[in-house]
Amino acid sequence: MITGAANGIGAATAHRFADEGAAVVLADIDDDRGTALAKEIDAGGGHASFVHVDVGSADDWARLRDHVGKLHGRLDVLHSNAARVVVGAAHELSQTDWDDQLRVAVTAAWLGARTFIDQLRDARGSIVLTSSVHALVGMPRHPAYAAAKGALTALGRQLAVEYGPDVRVNTVLPGPILTGMWDRVNDDERRASAAATVAKRLGRPQEVAAVVAFLASDDASYMTGASVVVDGGWSIVKDSA
């Protein structure tokens, strides 16, 4: 199951899991894109279903559990990927802006784990959380987003301790990945972000999806509580002494 599945990293991860033979449940509020993605995966020989889910709602998670139970009877992997970003300094954000960013990321990850931990334990499954390099480095005008992403890395460690050895929990921290969130960023800023990486380019959602698929797989059987950075070296390079 993938939250925030309709676009960007979520959609790329859905394709990756489907390509590897998983039946994928797509959860999002973007009904048009989510439905289209499920049909796209099915047309390519995979198996996917879409459910409209507000990831900050416990009632919606209960409906999602019913959907998974009726369709599959089990859950092996939960990729908690939903996010919301509102750009603005701390004094500029409304409380709604602040609350929504934490609700869609952190509260949603907690609700997902709470809702499905019994099935994940039965399957000796895996949870992968999508954090961000914002958890590591301060950037202007992203206080709530950074707070949410930082909280996810801590929550990932906590869940790993709570539910191991039955369930492995890891967190992926993407850097500048070319998703729909970059639609508001002009070409000059994109070039500057690319230049700030060691790789000298922006990343692709598929490159994060590959890491998520690895962390969820038996190939990562001795990894839990880890925070894996996927940023083309953005977080390790500076251009000043």
Query: What is the full per-residue pLDDT of the chain (241 aa) written as tens digits?
Result: 999 999 999 999 999 999 999 999 999 999 999 999 999 999 999 999 999 999 999 999 999 999 999 999 999 999 999 999 999 999 999 999 999 999 999 999 999 999 999 999 999 999 999 999 999 999 999 999 999 999 999 999 999 999 999 999 999 999 999 998 788 888 999 999 999 999 999 999 999 999 999 999 999 999 999 999 999 999 999 887 6
Report how far apart, in Å, the C-alpha atoms of 40 and of each of 15, 72, 166, 184 are: 9, 20, 33, 27
The residue type of 169 is: V
Q: Give the model's pLDDT for residue 182.
A: 81
Q: Give the model's pLDDT for residue 241.
A: 66
Torsion, Cα of 233, 151, 124, 1 (10° steps):
-80
Asked if 165 contacts 222 with a C-beta cutoff of 8 angstroms, the reply is no
Q: Give the model's pLDDT for residue 63.
A: 97
The residue type of 114 is: R
The residue type of 220 is: A
Asked if 169 contacts 224 with a C-beta cutoff of 8 angstroms, the reply is yes
Q: Give the model's pLDDT for residue 185.
A: 84
Q: Give the model's pLDDT for residue 183.
A: 82
Sheet holding 47-52, edge to edge: 47-52, 23-28, 2-3, 77-80, 126-130, 168-174, 227-230
Asked if 142 contacts 97 with a C-beta cutoff of 8 angstroms, the reply is no
Parse the chain into domains and list their residue ranges: 2-232
Q: Give the model's pLDDT for residue 97.
A: 97
Q: Give the model's pLDDT for residue 160.
A: 98
Torsion, Cα of 84, 9, 109, 220 (10° steps):
-150
User: What per-residue string of b and e applies to 179-217 under the rule 16 or more CB within 10 Å gives b?
Assistant: beeeeeeeeeeeeebbebbeeeebbebebbbebbbbbbe
- Count CB atoms within 10 A of the CB of residue 239: 6
Q: Which one is catalytic: 50, 61, 116, 145?
A: 145
CATH of domain 2-232: 3.40.50.720
Nearest to 143 by CA among 94, 90, 212, 179: 90
Q: Give the model's pLDDT for residue 240.
A: 77
Torsion sign (Cα): 147, 98, 81, 44: negative
Q: Tell me the backbone φ, ψ of residue 69, rounded to 5 degrees.
A: -65, -45
Q: What is the pTM of this model?
A: 0.97
Pairing of strands 126-130, 168-174: parallel
User: What per-residue string of b and e applies to 19-39 under the rule 16 or more CB within 10 Å gives b?
Assistant: eeebbbbbbbbbeebbbebbe
Our answer to whether residue 145 is catalytic in this structure is yes
